[in-house]
Amino acid sequence: MASNSTEVFPYPLAPNTSSHAEGITCFNLFLLTNNLSLLTQNETLGSLLNHLQNLFFLQPIKISINQYQTESHIYTNSDDSLLPNYILLLPEKFHKFYNTPIRTILKIPHIDPNTLLQPNFTPNPITYELPITTHLENEMQAQSLKIYSLNTNSLLENYKQLSLIDHITENQIDIFGISETHLNLKEAKFSTLSKNLTNYQKFWAPCRNRQGGVGIIIHN
């Protein structure tokens, strides 16, 4: 069976660990993969389970806890290998660890907006794959998710949206996180990006006074 080589980091992730990398918590990666609403950076096992219950999520989940019982982890796929020094937590034991933080950080690439969002940008793909072990013992080729994030510093310019469409489609990205869109909800929903990026679901949170604004784009 293929091994899980996902990079994991203690929480919180240093803000300047790498100019080409950002982090996402294990629970938000799980929520993104299942098209569920995201949570904050400070969650416990209990708060995550309550969130899933409120969303009527009934699929099996896989959770482990470290050997010191100080931190838990949720896996995107039930067949993922356990993290080092973690043990599987059975569902009937969940209630004993409701107050245990669940905050493992997974490292994902950060795209440099100074190169991507130029008017004449030609995409130069960054190869990053998040390995997921398969459920077949004799299948050695791991499935993968391609996950990217980008601070756009405004998506008001149409050429930036066209560059993103080209980059996402040509690199067959599965999940793309966008920050600092500077778009209100109406602008985001009717943007060039929303209308022309087919086969993707888009989720938007509006800006305030032309500051902030985020989006999550997930392949169908």
What does 49-92 look like in DSSP terms, one character per residue? HHHHHHTT--S---EEEETTSS-EEE-SSTTSPPPTTEEEE-GG
Q: For residue 92, is it within any domain?
A: yes
Q: Are 146 and 128 in contact (CB under 8 A)?
A: yes
Q: What is the mean pLDDT of residues 115-143?
A: 44
For residue 220, count CB atoms less than 10 angstroms from its CB and return exposed for 0-12, middle for 13-18, buried for 19 or more. Answer: exposed
Is residue 90 located within the same domain as residue 174?
no
Is residue 77 located within the same domain as residue 36?
yes
* Confidence grade of residue 113 (pLDDT, cut at 50, 70, 90): low
Q: For residue 9, is it within any domain?
A: no
* Confidence grade of residue 77 (pLDDT, cut at 50, 70, 90): confident
Is residue 144 located within the same domain as residue 73?
no
Is residue 93 located within the same domain as residue 139?
no
Better-scored residue on pLDDT, 106 or 60 = 60
Q: What percent of the chain has pLDDT over 70?
A: 72
Q: What is the mean pLDDT of residues 145-173?
A: 88
pLDDT at 125 over 60: no
pLDDT at 129 over 50: no
* Confidence grade of residue 75 (pLDDT, cut at 50, 70, 90): very high
Q: Write down the pLDDT at residue 32.
A: 81
Q: What is the mean pLDDT of residues 32-61?
A: 87
Is residue 197 located within the same domain as residue 153?
yes
* Confidence grade of residue 127 (pLDDT, cut at 50, 70, 90): very low
Structural domain that includes position 127: 111-219
Q: Write down the pLDDT at residue 140.
A: 38
Is residue 167 located within the same domain as residue 181?
yes
* Confidence grade of residue 2 (pLDDT, cut at 50, 70, 90): very low
At 38, list the tokens: 């995201």
Q: Write down the pLDDT at residue 70.
A: 93
* Confidence grade of residue 22 (pLDDT, cut at 50, 70, 90): low
- pTM given for the model: 0.47
Is residue 32 located within the same domain as residue 102?
yes
Average pLDDT, the chain: 77
Q: What is the mean pLDDT of residues 199-220?
A: 89
| Share in percent of the chain as helix, strand, coil (round to 5) | 25, 25, 50
pLDDT at 102 over 50: yes
**Residue that terminates a domain, selected from 87, 106, 125:** 106
Is residue 157 located within the same domain as residue 80?
no
Report how far Cα 134 is from the mean position of its chain's Cα atoms.
20
Q: For residue 1, is it within any domain?
A: no
**Residue that terminates a domain, selected from 106, 132, 156:** 106
Q: Write down the pLDDT at residue 134.
A: 42
Number of domains in the chain: 2
